[in-house]
Amino acid sequence: MKKAQALILFASLLISSLVAAQERITLDDGSVLGVFMVRPAETTDSPAPLVVLMGGGPGNASISRDTSIWLGGGFAERGFNVVVPISPNNRAFRGEENNHKVEQLIVELQKRDYITSGKVLLAGISNGGMSALEIARRNPQNYFGVAAVPALATSVVDNRPLAGFPVYLRIGGADQLGWADRFGETVDALTEAGVDLDAAILDSAPHMFRMNWESLDAWLEKVTQ
C-alpha cells in the first residue's frame, strides 16, 4: 500500500511540475494573445528550442490548456520550451491573420533568454495540425518541421512551398470524423509537392490518440539536428 501511495505521489509531482502557466503576450500589431507555457522538464543554464503546439477544434482556452498538459508535457520532457496559443477567434490558427499572429508570437518569445533563436518546431492536433501546415507554407525556412497529429491536406492548396520540408503525419484508423478515408488524398497532395513526409495510419486509433513517442522521437532527432 505504501509503495502504491508513493508511486501516486511521484506521478502527481511529475504532472504538477509540467503544468502550464497561462500568460498574455502583446504582439507587434498591438493585439494580446493568451498562451499556455511549459518549460523543459530538466532545468539547464542553456536556452532550449521552442515548439508552437496548437490544439484541435476551435483552439479555445480549455482545449489549449489540456493540450499543453498531455502533449505539451511530452515535448517538455524532451527539452523543448512549449507554447500553446489560445485562438483569438475560435478558428484555431487557420487563415492569414491568425497565421501571422503565431509568427509574431514566435518573435516575442525568442526575445527571452531561455528560448533559442532560429528555427522553431510547429505541431498541432486536428485543426491545429492544419494551422501548423498553413503557417509552415508561408515561411518554411523558419521551422524544423511540422508534427501534424492529425491533419488533412489537399491539392487545391499550393503545397509547393513545402518541397523538401519535413512533415510527420499520423491519422487514426478509427477516426470518428472519417479522416482515415482521406489519408490517401492527404499523402498524395503532400508527396506530389515534394514534402519530406513521414506518414502512417494508426490501427484502431480514434481522432485524438495517444502519442507514439518512440516514432516521433526518431523523427525529432532527424529534423532538429
pLDDT (tens digit per residue) in 102-153:
999 999 999 999 999 999 999 999 999 999 999 999 999 999 999 999 999 9
**Domain assignment of residue 151, yes or no:** yes
Give the phi and the psi of residue 150 in degrees, each rounded to 5: -105, -175
CA atoms of 50 and 206, how far apart (whole Å): 28
Task: Judge contact between 159 and 153, C-beta under 8 A.
Answer: yes
**Domain assignment of residue 118, yes or no:** yes
pLDDT (tens digit per residue) in 179-201:
999 999 999 999 999 999 999 99
Asked, as a colleague might, if the bond just before 150 is cis with ω within 30 of 0, I would say: yes
**Domain assignment of residue 168, yes or no:** yes
**Domain assignment of residue 197, yes or no:** yes
Full domain range(s) for residue 122:
18-223
| pTM for this model (two decimals) | 0.91
**163: domain CATH number?**
3.40.50.1820
pLDDT at 4 over 80: no
**Domain assignment of residue 12, yes or no:** no
Helix count and strand count (H, E) for the chain? 7, 8
pLDDT of residue 7: 37
pLDDT of residue 20: 75
The SS3 call for residue 103 is helix
Task: Judge contact between 180 and 201, C-beta under 8 A.
Answer: yes
**Domain assignment of residue 68, yes or no:** yes
Task: Judge contact between 43 and 26, C-beta under 8 A.
Answer: no
**Domain assignment of residue 191, yes or no:** yes
Q: How many domains does the chain have?
A: 1
**Domain assignment of residue 3, yes or no:** no
Nearest Cα residue to 141 out of 155, 158, 169, 122: 122
pLDDT of residue 2: 40
pLDDT (tens digit per residue) in 19-70:
579 999 999 999 999 999 999 988 778 999 999 999 999 999 999 999 999 9
**What is the amino acid identity at position 137?**
R
Least confident of 39-43, 81-85, 96-100: 39-43
Nearest Cα residue to 36 out of 45, 47, 25: 25
